[in-house]
Structure 1
Amino acid sequence: MQRQQASAPAATIHARNIGGIGETEVTFEPGVTILVGRNATNRTSFLQAVMAALGSGNVAMKGDADEAEVTLELGEETYTRTFSRRDGGGERGGDPYLDEPTLAELFAFLLESNEARRAVATNADLRELIMRPVDTDEIESEIDRLQDRRETLEAELDAIDDRKGELRELEDRRETLREEIEATKAELEETEAELDAADGDVAARREEQSELEDRLAELREKRAELDDVRYELETEQESLAALETERRECESELEALSDDPDADADGIDARLRELRERKGELESQVNELQSVIRFNEGMLDDDGAAVPAELAGSGDESVTDKLVDDSVTCWTCGTAVEPGQIESTVEQLREHSQSKVGEVDRLEDEIEELQSEKREIERTERERERLERRLGELDDEIEATEATVEELRDRRESLTGEIERVEAAVDELEEEEYGDVLELHKTANELEYELGRLETDLEDVEAEIADAEERIGEEEEVRDELDDVADRIERLRTRIERIEREAVDSFNDHMASVLGLLDYDNLDRIWIERVEQEVRKGRRKETERAFELHVVRTTDSGAAYEDTVDHLSESEREVTGLVFALAGYLVHDVSETVPFVLLDSLEAIDSVRIAALVDYFADHAQHLLVALLPEDAAELDDGHERVTEI
């Protein structure tokens, strides 16, 4: 983004009762706006007012006010934020610029207490800060869903391959059936021709032949019925064998799901409640500590801010005394103290806050592990219930199938007896002179039955061929979807890595550029390396990616060596923290969300380097607001807009 954009609108801030500000209104154009003044001239309070209008909640009200308000006019749009004290607590309202200010608070609101900016000084987890705005849980969940879909599609392709093999067998079977039908038709025509010739010789005995044909027709029907029963019996027996196999498999799976004596879902729930309550208490303490830290910083800068209402309490005990063990006499009790004493207290509060944050992280790890154990217990229980339910269904199906098999066996035995009876009757009707004719009739009946069976089988095979061809025709569509799913999985898997890589590359590139501009003695390079490290999560050890910060210096003789972050000067540390925040700003495209970058508390950096750093940051924001002391502001380009009264 260029230093200024002609299309970017001017901004007007109207603030009332924010920090040390009673009421003020300031208008500034796009580009660099310098808030010039000594300490306690409400420059930080004004930056907090801008933050409030943009959506931040890290804002302190004026100590003697019950209500506060900020309005931001940006072009034709107007955004508001209101604050009020109610029953010892604070309420927020209005319609700010951002609904969710997390990105801006991390990478655009770069006041002294900004978490990303202070990450280097506090040895914070740099990777966690960069990845915090990314919903990694949602990404992993989507990957799991897509992997399930991929397995389904792969199974479909396997089934299609199986159908290809079946299709070849079906086509062979169809050809065989067609040949058998043609052969049977030819044999039947030949037999019927012989019958026509034989019937002429026995025309006088039609009555006897009619009775015999009736018997033969009955015999044909019985045999057809017996064949159907045998087919049904074979089918039911196959079904029974399949059901019994499935029951054995279910019983094996159920047996494998043995109860875990250590699995105690109720105990885990109780422990989770305990840990969440403790985590909530710690987070509340951290929030209170951060409010006190911000207020103390405001006191040092503005000399006009007051204790936020949400930290005010009753009784003689001070807020600071409630949060740390060391007792310090300060503004909370009305006694005048040296600024150095307040700075010392603020540093203690920061260290105490960092300790609390570490304990919160440990609790989050334990909560995550317990939740994982609980999900596994619930999954096992659901699987056990499913298997037990399926076993019950299988028992019912097996019982019904066994009854059907027994019924079909009885029917088969009955039909066999009836056929034997009809065959005996046919034998009685056969006389020597009609033996050939009767044999021809029997042969014709059998051929007609066989022809009907073959034609039915052919219809079934052709239907299966059509189904197989239709299924095989879906192969390209399934493969296209499988390729798409695989691409989406790969994109999701590489998204986190891409953000990490871009953050590291961005930091390293900008750090190299900034160091080249600022020209620190014997400081050659500050760079971040992506590494993998083993960490303990509860009782397990896991490998996680991390960002490792390196410092390279040069001796007087020109030899390069790697130094530690602890040896960075305050100026070098501040610059490194600001560049890390800028990397996060660029990687997450924060400029597309909020057009402001705020800088404060740059006194640790000398004036010339501040000027170079401001010019560098100005290339990446529509509005860059910088709070500077007069002597530092004097080094900046006279063309930058300046605000001297707030």
Structure 2
Amino acid sequence: MSWRLDVENVAGIRRGSATLEPGLNAVRASNWQGKSSFLAAIATALGTASPLTEGASEGRVSLSTDEREYAVELTRDGGRVRTTGEPYLSDEVDRVCADLFAFLGEENEVRRAVREDDDLEPLLTRPLDFEDIDAKIAEARRERDRVDEALSEAEDAAERLPTLVSRVSGLEAEVDELEAELEASADAAGDDETREALSDARAERSRVQSRIERLESTAERVREQLEANREELDGLDVGDDEELERELDEAKRELRQQKRDIELLRGVYDANRRVVAEGRTELLTDVTHGLVDDELACWVCGAETDASSVTERLDELAEKIERRTAAAEASRERVEGLTERVETHEKRRQRERELRTDVRELRERRSDLERRLGDARERDDELAERIDDLRERIESDSEQVTDIESDLKYAKARLDDAKSELESSESEAEKLESLRSQRQSLTEEITRLRRRKQEVKKETRDAFDASIREIVPLFETGFESARLTSEFELVVARDGREASLDALSEGEVELLGLATALAGYEAFDVADRVPVMLVDRLGGIADENLGRLTEYLSGTATYLVMTAYPEHGAVEGRDIDPSDWSVVSDSAAAKGAE
């Protein structure tokens, strides 16, 4: 299970080697010793990075596992770095998932978006962009159409089986009877060619009539399905969603304005409350200390007032902030409700499009069946006329023998056709359960693909909620809860109120960034895709909390690799010592000594 990496000219490492073992691997050293560069080398071996050392023309990372070896070569080509070789991760979706949710360095996009309060939704759903869901749905629909056609034929065959078995039995009895009659007949007369032509015509007409029966059965089923789809389409109330979308846009604008107002009011309140609470009003205005109260001039408008009036005004401002916060929460709930209504309306529109497509295809199929049925009936009429003509041409003196021979040949031909059709129908009917199972699987796959994005978003929110429920008590954070909204907005609550990320400590923001990335890690089953998790540059988290973090991440990935300083005693695992590596800082130190 050991992984060995050999690194040459990657990031800040000139040359170095190390072995990863399952569990926590701590790259422990002071600054400029290659800790972060080693994590960049791992990412290069897995196929998500290409940090060629500055000034080097070539670099290389080789990864040896128990199963095989991988190697990635880096070559400077003008102003860019070209990558060749075979990385550990060959699938693009796996690489995207690794970069977003498993390689959690300081420049991880999810961590950075949380720090900068940027939009999280494009990042947390990015792997879906590489899954090409629409193309997969189209392919599954084409395959289901093929299965539907085969299933229709199998159902027709199963319905015909009892009739065919009875027909074969009857024809066998008829052939036995005709052979007995012919054997008893002493005379034979008539034109052999004419009799053969009559038998051929009768045999062909039998096949045509069987075809007419099959086409009529299939056409009836298509008509029933078409009628059912039309009824569902007529009963589907889609309506106009423009007003609903306008209402949702207006609700979102209102919510954004409320958030800006609250943030503005809270800034005014916090600054003034701190001045009053710390008794530092003389920093802003002249204060006259009295026996009952302090008199002062308002530092905003200059009007004469006293400390009690200022405190009362601040309390009124706090109440106003609470009212606006409650109104913002109501607006947020309204936005989420309207979002759900818009999504429900879109599902109905999608179903309407599907039904219209199905109706169009069924109409085309019905027209084709009616055309083929008309051709078959026309051929049946032609054969009936031909049979009548052939009968009239047979001489009267050999009519009896001719009829027997003709009937016998006709009966044998019909028997052969019936047996062949029975055998074919039995073969088709045997496929019925398999085809039904295939169709069910394809339908479920299409449904799963259509719901994929919503399910991933829900799984991401659920995973984030679960992480927060563990993180808050484990790390004793200053906020009591956090959640991701349906639009992946990060909402944090402290002291019963929504708190701005700016009001949190650096360590708390870093914990939220990690929790958000780990939510994507769970939603996209990254543990099954990528066996390594990289964690780097957690300077805002105290030493004791780093120990808790390593315990929290333990077991998340097969190989957990973290950077640590020598003084980080709480990070306990297998240490990787970079002291034997040749790093860029060594060259810089040597030049300084000269």
Bucket of the pairwise TM-score, normalised by the shorter protein: 0.5 to 0.7
Aligned residue in 1 for 2:285: none
Aligned residue in 1 for 2:148: 151
Aligned residue in 2 for 1:349: none
Q: How does 1:45-56 map to 2 (within 5 A)?
A: 45-56=37-48
Task: Flag the structure with larger Rg.
Answer: 1
Q: 1:222 to 1:16 in 2, by over 3 A?
A: closer
AA partner of residue 624 (structure 1):
L
Matched residue SS, 1:601 = coil
Instruction: Give, in whole Å, the separation in 1 of the partners of 2:72 and 2:440.
Output: 44
Instruction: Give, in whole Å, the separation in 2 of the partners of 1:234 and 1:88.
Output: 77
1:16 aligns with 2:6: no
Instruction: Give, in whole Å, the separation in 2 of the partners of 1:144 and 1:98.
Output: 30
Instruction: Give, in whole Å, the separation in 2 of the partners of 1:12 and 1:224.
Output: 89
Instruction: Give, in whole Å, the separation in 2 of the partners of 1:92 and 1:600.
Output: 24
Decide whether the 8 Å contact of 1:32 with 1:640 is kept in 2: yes
Report deviation, 1:485. Answer: 0.8
Report deviation, 1:550. Answer: 6.3
Q: 1:447 to 1:60 in 2, by over 3 A?
A: same
Matched residue SS, 1:574 = helix
Instruction: Give, in whole Å, the separation in 2 of the partners of 1:564 and 1:474.
Output: 69
Aligned residue in 1 for 2:401: 448
Aligned residue in 2 for 1:553: 493
Aligned residue in 2 for 1:515: 472
Instruction: Give, in whole Å, the separation in 2 of the partners of 1:184 and 1:640.
Output: 98
- Normalising by structure 2, what TM-score? 0.54
Decide whether the 8 Å contact of 2:140 with 2:442 is kept in 1: yes
Matched residue SS, 1:625 = strand
Matched residue SS, 1:32 = strand
Decide whether the 8 Å contact of 2:491 with 2:498 is kept in 1: yes
Instruction: Give, in whole Å, the separation in 2 of the partners of 1:233 and 1:163.
Output: 19
Q: How does 1:568-587 map to 2 (within 5 A)?
A: 571-586=507-522
Instruction: Give, in whole Å, the separation in 1 of the partners of 2:159 and 2:477.
Output: 70
* 1:452-486, Cα deviation, whole Å (9 max, x unpaired): 23323332332233234323422552123214313
Decide whether the 8 Å contact of 2:60 with 2:72 is kept in 1: yes
AA partner of residue 69 (structure 1):
G
Report deviation, 1:112. Answer: 2.3
In structure 1, runs of 5+ residues without a counterpart are 1-7, 193-212, 246-379, 392-396, 424-441, 530-545
1:616 aligns with 2:548: no
Instruction: Give, in whole Å, the separation in 1 of the partners of 2:505 and 2:541.
Output: 10
Report deviation, 1:510. Answer: 3.4
Decide whether the 8 Å contact of 1:15 with 1:69 is kept in 2: yes
Q: How does 1:192-271 map to 2 (within 5 A)?
A: 217=189, 220-221=190-191, 228=198, 231=201
Decide whether the 8 Å contact of 1:163 with 1:468 is kept in 2: no
Q: 1:482 to 1:547 in 2, by over 3 A?
A: farther
1:492 aligns with 2:445: yes
1:641 aligns with 2:575: yes
AA partner of residue 579 (structure 1):
A
Q: 1:547 to 1:168 in 2, by over 3 A?
A: farther
AA partner of residue 463 (structure 1):
D
- Normalising by structure 1, what TM-score? 0.50
Aligned residue in 2 for 1:108: 102
Equivalent of 2:59 in 53, 64, 69 = 69
Decide whether the 8 Å contact of 2:4 with 2:20 is kept in 1: yes
Identity %: 22
Aligned residue in 1 for 2:83: 92
Aligned residue in 2 for 1:367: none
AA partner of residue 167 (structure 1):
L
Matched residue SS, 1:463 = helix
Comparing 448-457 with 578-587, greater Cα deviation is found at 578-587
Decide whether the 8 Å contact of 2:480 with 2:495 is kept in 1: no
Decide whether the 8 Å contact of 1:150 with 1:486 is kept in 2: yes
* 1:195-222, Cα deviation, whole Å (9 max, x unpaired): xxxxxxxxxxxxxxxxxx9xx95xx449
Instruction: Give, in whole Å, the separation in 2 of the partners of 1:447 and 1:568.
Output: 108
Comparing 107-116 with 174-183, greater Cα deviation is found at 174-183
Q: How does 1:406-417 map to 2 (within 5 A)?
A: none
Decide whether the 8 Å contact of 2:52 with 2:59 is kept in 1: no
Decide whether the 8 Å contact of 1:181 with 1:451 is kept in 2: yes
Matched residue SS, 2:406 = helix
Aligned residue in 2 for 1:278: none
Aligned residue pairs total 417
Instruction: Give, in whole Å, the separation in 1 of the partners of 2:74 and 2:200.
Output: 86
RMSD: 5.5
Comparing 50-59 with 569-578, greater Cα deviation is found at 569-578
Q: 1:57 to 1:159 in 2, by over 3 A?
A: same
Decide whether the 8 Å contact of 2:158 with 2:426 is kept in 1: no
AA partner of residue 469 (structure 2):
A
AA partner of residue 67 (structure 1):
S
Matched residue SS, 1:167 = helix
Instruction: Give, in whole Å, the separation in 2 of the partners of 1:60 and 1:226.
Output: 87
